[in-house]
Amino acid sequence: MKKFLKYMRKINQITSSVFCKLKFRYAFPPNFFYIAVTKSCSLKCKMCDWGGDFPESPFTQNLGGVDNNKELHLEVIVKLFDEISWYRPSVNIIGAEPLEYSKIIELIDEATLRGMETSITTNGVLLNEMSDDLIFAGLKNINISINGTQEVHDKICGEKGLYNKVVDGIKNLEHLMKKYKTNEPIINIVFTISNHNYWNILDTVHALRDLNYNNILINHFTFISKELASMHNEKFPNIKVGPKAVYHSDPKKVCIDVLFSQLEKLKKYNHRIHIRPVLNKNELEKYYKTDEPFIQRNSKCICLWTEANINVSGDVIAKFYCPYISFGNIKEKNFFLIWNASKFRDFRKLGKKFPVCYRCPSYFT
Ligand code: SF4
Ligand code: SF4
């Protein structure tokens, strides 16, 4: 079954890359669902607009949508699962902090019962106490943020003792997986590069060497500078965006020589480390210091054909980095009626045409 699903996803990805070139902009059912289940998060990370509470940021707008609900009700998600589970897409549960969602275990249970694989992306604060339940609910993947060694991570996330708490949580998870003789969930540690930690990547990888993780994913900082937001708003006055992730962080303060040297050494480190995307020195310079576009490998934003994103209000949105537009709400309509309605198809035409796309991870795919 797993092999079959993998094969089907591959076929869907290939056919989507052909379909996205056609004029009518219809899409096959998406391979991946990203569902934001709660607005709660106990941290205030420096490179996150949610923790920093900036209402004009596209991340804040996309996450919350228009209503004041703190959570997406489980019944709404289960209704969605009943609509989509026939073809077994992968379900990625995100937040703010998904482990703060009151029904997180029931949600994973419902997906597993319907044969869908689940992933969560978490700050790890509640990992220690929830690991047992997560394993038994059948969680497939867990992405845990660690953005530096002890002092650096605690400073970025604004909580003393956090690093040790998260590492203890990972050790406990590993211990329980061994006890129950299971290889799942797959453990991915996610490190996001910013001006607060670019010199600290190798030390972090070294500090985590005794953990039994599957992968470390090193991601470049995703941001929209004030200049890029203005450039966008001049060109698209009807789809405005604000700056993203630059309120307490400044990509221009990243020293490219140091970052490049860290990433080069990392390439030789071990096969479990993945840098996304891999950039040469000139590209790094351009990425962090300018607002210019570069490395567009495909002229279409293929994720608009293969990934569905749903926020805490139940709105189907483009992506959490995109300008906020609701294409419809899953509380009111069947998902597939929204997915291929003219509003979404019209938006697919605009994928990668926005200036704010230049620093979006989907731009490089
Ligand atoms: S844990 Fe995640 S949602 Fe919470 S402040 Fe940090 S980056 Fe933002
Ligand atoms: S590349 Fe542009 S259109 Fe595509 S997800 Fe990113 S911001 Fe949205």
Residue 275 CA to ligand 1 center (angstroms) comes to 21
Residue 205 has pLDDT above 90, yes or no: yes
Centre a 10 Å sphere on the Cβ of residue 103 and count the other Cβ atoms it contains: 18
Residue 272 CA to ligand 2 center (angstroms) comes to 28
The owner of tokens 């959490």 is 320
Q: Could you tell me the pTM of the whole model?
A: 0.94
Using the Cα atoms of residue 36, residue 40, residue 42 and residue 45 in order, give the sign of their dihedral: positive
Average the pLDDT over each of 44-48, 126-130, 326-330 and give the range with the smallest value.
44-48
Residues 6 or more apart from 214 whose CB is under 8 A from it?
A: 186, 187, 188, 272
pLDDT digits (tens, 9 = 90+) for 47-89: 898 876 788 889 888 988 666 779 999 999 999 999 999 999 9
pLDDT of res. 293 = 80
DSSP 238: T
Q: Which residues line ligand 1 (CB under 6 A)?
A: 41, 43-45, 48, 50-51, 95-97, 123, 157
Please report the atom of ligand 1 found closest to the CA of residue 125. Answer: 1
Residue nearest to atom 6 of ligand 1 (CA): 45
pLDDT digits (tens, 9 = 90+) for 171-197: 999 999 999 999 999 999 999 999 999
The DSSP H or E segment spanning 143 is strand 141-145
Q: Which ligand is nearest to the CA of 293?
A: 2
Residue 298 CA to ligand 1 center (angstroms) comes to 30
Q: Which residues line ligand 2 (CB under 6 A)?
A: 301, 303, 318-319, 321-322, 351-352, 354, 356-357, 360, 362-363
pLDDT of res. 87 = 93
Q: Which ligand is nearest to the CA of 162?
A: 1
Mutation test of ligand 1: which of 123, 143, 156, 190 has the most ligand atoms closer than 8 Å to its C-beta? 123
pLDDT of res. 295 = 62
Q: Which two tokens stand for residue 236?
A: 């698209």
Residue 49 CA to ligand 1 center (angstroms) comes to 8
- pLDDT-above-70 percentage for the chain: 95
Q: Which of 44-48, 145-149, 248-252, 303-307 has the highest mean pLDDT?
A: 145-149
Residue 143 identity (one-letter amino acid) = N
Dihedrals phi, psi of 172, to nearest 5 degrees: -65, -40
CA distances from 327 to 66, 315, 316 (A): 13, 7, 6
pLDDT of res. 52 = 65
Provide the greatest CA pair distance for the chain.
Answer: 58
pLDDT digits (tens, 9 = 90+) for 249-303: 999 999 999 999 999 999 887 778 999 888 999 999 999 999 888 666 667 888 9
Q: Which two tokens stand for residue 138?
A: 């059948």
Nearest CA to 358 out of 308, 279, 291 is that of 291
Residues 60 and 25: their CA atoms lie apart, in Å, by 28
pLDDT digits (tens, 9 = 90+) for 79-138: 999 999 999 999 999 989 999 999 999 999 999 999 999 999 999 999 999 999 999 999
